[in-house]
Structure 1
């Protein structure tokens, strides 16, 4: 048993290193001088360190403006998705009505549809609404794309909370809304955190819609910003890697803050779905 445990632990470490290596290489490339980034020596440890690439990314471009656009559309879309998804998941879990199973199937199908397949309908829809080249278009798109997963995930979390708790609160004089707000919603915290992390990552990393719908550079987001270091004269890989490192920091910080609640939320949602 001990040998098997050691073998499994060693295998887990190897797999973790394989997945972590691209991130490590991105970071080390971001602190290398420009002449060493394209070196064929493949040094795992940089022989010299510089912050010039970060200075180029932060002060030689409009990084902060792109960052503000990304934070605005992502946080707004995730917040709207959580509010609408929680209410829809509550209805799916607690109420029985005609067409309920069909609606759940539609939610699952919407979750499975690739983003690229919706590009043309989304573009025409935004054009008819007059939202092309406007940030509300991205907010609406990210809300639509993250809502099916939010509904499906939160439904599993709500199913794991005994309905008897809400009924006991209503016996004590609470309305159904008050019972949900005072009893179910606090217990739903880990589920909301876990769902928000996945929705945040989905919206934060999205590139195609931000490129197509936002034609003005002042309205584009960070994923689109990363391609600005590619010119007709070549690609500034050092600045690109520095920008990519900065791009991952908000997600990393958010994940570290909510890590414990997210892990408990994932295990709780896996009990019943």
Structure 2
């Protein structure tokens, strides 16, 4: 005589768990799709202005000022770049480029050296005015630089440094230095001093322990801070306009201003070509720094 097998009481639970897992996978898949779509929208919104600038730089000015939109330089020309770099209707491109490179390099090097030493001092040593120094750094960062532009102008003029690379570099270093010290202080504070002490126990001197152990770990922080200093010095406009207004002393942001015609006759194609030339050094700098940052992170991990 056969008997019917009763259904297992756990079968409904298994079915319910499977349905719940299926809904969870669908929800995660939908969330991933929405995130990817949002990332694509943000990427396009960020890249399109740059693409439009480069696209416009290769078009004739008459085509740019026309009513039709051209999403591709179908009548591409290099005349805009030739007029920007070799034209004689405005301030020359070469001296402005050389001034920007010189001011930016001086600012980055000076800010990193001074900021790094100051960050080491406030992190590794305990002295009486340490707290007041840190508070002063925060207070200085809260003051808009433009609020002190008259005082800075009179100070630089008194030093006979108007329309000079040195004078503008000193102002940029003073502007960037508080943030540089504060940022590097966080990186230095994140590296334990016990690493140097362990290296000294193994026979290294203090300078050797610092350069072989601590410095590779701090290299990514120096690179990241240097990027900020580079951007600030390369793109700064107000101080450069006030302190270096002469054509032979102006930097690239002030040089771009010479393309604006008060009468409204702006050559947008040449302006976009000039803007592209100004952006190229920044792109090259980031391509170089990206590799250095990656190698610094790997070296720091191995050394640690």
Give your verdict on TM over 0.5. Answer: yes
User: Which of residues 212, 219, 238 in structure 2 aligns to 1:189?
Assistant: 219
The CA distance in 2 between the partners of 1:42 and 1:263, in whole Å, is: 41
- In the other structure, the counterpart of 1:142 is 172
Shift of 1:210: 0.9
Maintained 8 Å contact 1:194/1:263: no
Q: CA RMSD in A?
A: 1.9
Post-superposition CA distance 1:27-50 (Å, at most 9, x none): 111011110112222322233211
Q: Comparing 39-48 with 85-94, which one deviates more in the overlay? A: 39-48
> Relative to 1, partners in 2 of residues 1:8 and 1:265: Cα closer, same or farther, differing over 3 Å?
farther
Structure 2: distance between partners of 1:238 and 1:194? 34
Q: Which moved more, 1:5-14 or 1:175-184?
A: 175-184
C-alpha separation in 2, matches of 1:216 and 1:169: 54
Question: In 2 relative to 1, CA 16–34 (structure 1 residues): closer, same or farther, beyond 3 Å?
Answer: same
Residue 271 of structure 1: aligned partner: none
SS of alignment partner, residue 186 of structure 1: helix
Give secondary structure in 2 for the equivalent of 1:258. helix
- Which blocks of at least 5 consecutive residues in structure 2 are unaligned? 1-27, 298-304
Does the CA contact (< 8 Å) of 1:110 and 1:148 recur in 2?
yes
Q: 1:214 & 1:2 partners in 2: Cα distance?
A: 56
Tell me, yes or no, if the aligned pair for 2:217 and 2:296 is still in contact at 8 Å: no
Selected match of 1:207 from 229, 233, 237: 237
Q: 1:3 to 1:79 in 2, by over 3 A?
A: same
Contact 1:205–1:223 (Cα < 8 Å) also in 2: yes
Measured after TM superposition, the shift of residue 263 of structure 1 is 7.3
Contact 1:206 1:223 in 2 (8 A): yes
- Runs of 4+ residues deviating >6 angstroms: 263-266
| Distance (Å, rounded) in 1 between the aligned partners of 2:209 and 2:192 | 12
Name structure 1 gaps, 5 residues minimum.
267-273
Q: How many correspondences in the alignment?
A: 266
Query: Does the C-alpha gap of structure 1 residues 174 and 118 become closer, same or farther in structure 2, counting only changes over 3 Å?
Result: farther
1:59 to 75, 86, 94: 86
Deviation string for 1:200-230 (max 9, x for gaps)? Answer: 0110001111111113210110001111122
Measured against aligned partners, the alpha-carbon deviations of 1:36-91 in whole angstroms (never above 9, x if no partner) come to 11222232223321111111111115111110000001101110000001100111
The match for 1:33 among 47, 60, 63 is: 60
User: 2:29 maps to which residue?
Assistant: 2
One of 275, 286, 294 as aligned partner of 1:244: 275
* TM-score, normalised relative to structure 2: 0.82
Following TM superposition, by how much is the alpha carbon of 1:108 offset from its aligned partner in structure 2, in angstroms?
2.0
Larger radius of gyration, structure 1 or 2? 2
